[in-house]
Amino acid sequence: MAVARLRVLTRRQQALGGTYNGVNRSFTFPENFKQGSSRIFHNGRRLKIASDGTLLTGEYTETESGGLGAGFNSIYLLSFAPTTGSVLVADYYII
């Protein structure tokens, strides 16, 4: 019997889209990603994902900007808003 295999692609150091102005906290990925696979870096420091969507457990949450079921393609930062000149990049998996 043949075994079906999922092809998982990894993206690394992808710039996130959004306004870097010290106010905006929502940023989008270039494409949908596998939920739970994102690793976000702000100015080289890795941020911690919030396991329950609160600041108590992490610094960001993964979101579906197109609505429920549209696919995960963005994050919301819980602890800060990046300013002009900040670098926000992501590593993630796509299927």
Each residue's pLDDT tens digit, 75-85:
999 999 999 99
The terminus-to-terminus CA distance of the chain in angstroms comes to 23
| Secondary structure (3-state) at 34 | coil
Each residue's pLDDT tens digit, 27-76:
999 999 999 999 999 999 999 999 887 778 899 999 998 888 888 999 99
Q: With cut-offs at 50, 70 and 90, classify the pLDDT of residue 6.
A: low
* This prediction's pTM: 0.86
pLDDT of 55: 73
Nearest to 18 by CA among 78, 93, 88: 88
How long a stretch of residues is the chain? Answer: 95
Kindly state the tokens that stand for 58. 């992490």
